[in-house]
Amino acid sequence: MARRPDGARAPTVAGMRVLVTGGAGFIGSHVVEALAARGHEPVVFDLREDAAADVRDRAAVAEALSGADAVCHQAAMVGLGSGVADAPDYVSHNDLGTAVLLSAMAEAGVARLVLAGSMVVYGEGRYRCARHGGVRPGPRAVEDLAAGRFEPPCPVCGDPLEPAQVTEDACPDPRNVYAATKLAQEHLAAAWARATGGSAVSLRYHNVYGPRMPRDTPYAGVASFFRSALARGEAPRVFEDGGQRRDFVHVRDVAEANAAALEADPVPGLRVYNAGSGTPRTVGEMADALAAAHGGPHPVVTGEYRLGDVRHITADSSRLRAELGWKPGVDFASGVREFARAPLREE
């Protein structure tokens, strides 16, 4: 196997024709740009540009796969959603769509897949109790959230916990419908890889932010909510106490991770990678930084909560760095300054 001098797998395929589902979306459009800059031929398949470009449509997918060397699957219904009322839509877009795509890939003989995974499959992140070591707290109780007790306690003794970065070997624990569909996508990809000998990579995105985020939508990330409020001249509303830890990673870095995964030597089966900056930040820090870069107004901490949210989830992205030679190139301060003034897209 070819290797880079730093030990990471070296690219072995150049000039690939890559079908990018969701290629006109927030992350997908940046992936398209990254692939084109590296000399590949990205082919956009996206409902935003063509009403017939639906990954649930077998005939449309089969036509789009003609001549493709690989697929970068970004198309999905994203976000927390609203309970279970929209579960059929999530399952249809994310899981049925992925199943149709994989079936068409098998028939067309396309054996390379990079999947837009998500950190939401973990549920809560990694925690350590001073007395009991590594523990996994269950879902937070409504009465605790309503009383402002946001930190999950040790499930054994009830003591406070210290959050830590989560690694890819953590057991999945999806806490909402969207998370369940993202985990199902990985299982489908693994089954496809086993059946066909194909190579699948799932990049478990952490909190992606940056230019072209959609505005004012229930399916956008928290950074988009804050940025949309600032654009309206309103104070960003920070839920809970703002102390939730997240890993905010710039969209161009995520796009480069997709390109690196596509260019690496294909390995049969499914391989998963955390795609995050590696530097935990709180939600309150993001709101404060965005407001300062935008020129105000200052964020308001509301104490509100959403049952499907987790308290802390941050990434250990060392596997992605070591095996694919990727590292983030946009630091938090400069990324936030850019995002504070970048236009938001209508979605």
Residues marked as catalytic: 178
For residue 273, what are the β-bridge partners?
203
Q: Which of 195, 201, 22 is nearest to 107 (CA)?
A: 195
How does DSSP classify residue 93?
I
Write out the H or E segment, with its range, that includes residue 289.
helix 283-294
Report the first-to-last Cα separation within the chain, whole angstroms: 42
Q: What gap in Å lies between CA 12 and CA 1, rounded to an integer? A: 9
CB 268 within 8 A of CB 195: no
How does DSSP classify residue 311?
S
Amino acid, res. 263: E
Q: What gap in Å lies between CA 276 and CA 250, rounded to an integer? A: 8
Q: What gap in Å lies between CA 1 and CA 7, rounded to an integer? A: 11
CB 73 within 8 A of CB 101: yes
How far is CA 178 from each of CA 82, 91, 106, 194, rounded to the nearest angstrom? 10, 8, 26, 25
Residue-wise burial string across 28-49, b where 16 or more C-beta atoms lie within 10 A, e elsewhere = bbbbbebbeebebebbbbbbbe
Orientation angle between helical segments 283-294 and 222-231, nearest 10 degrees: 30
Write out the H or E segment, with its range, that includes residue 113.
strand 112-118
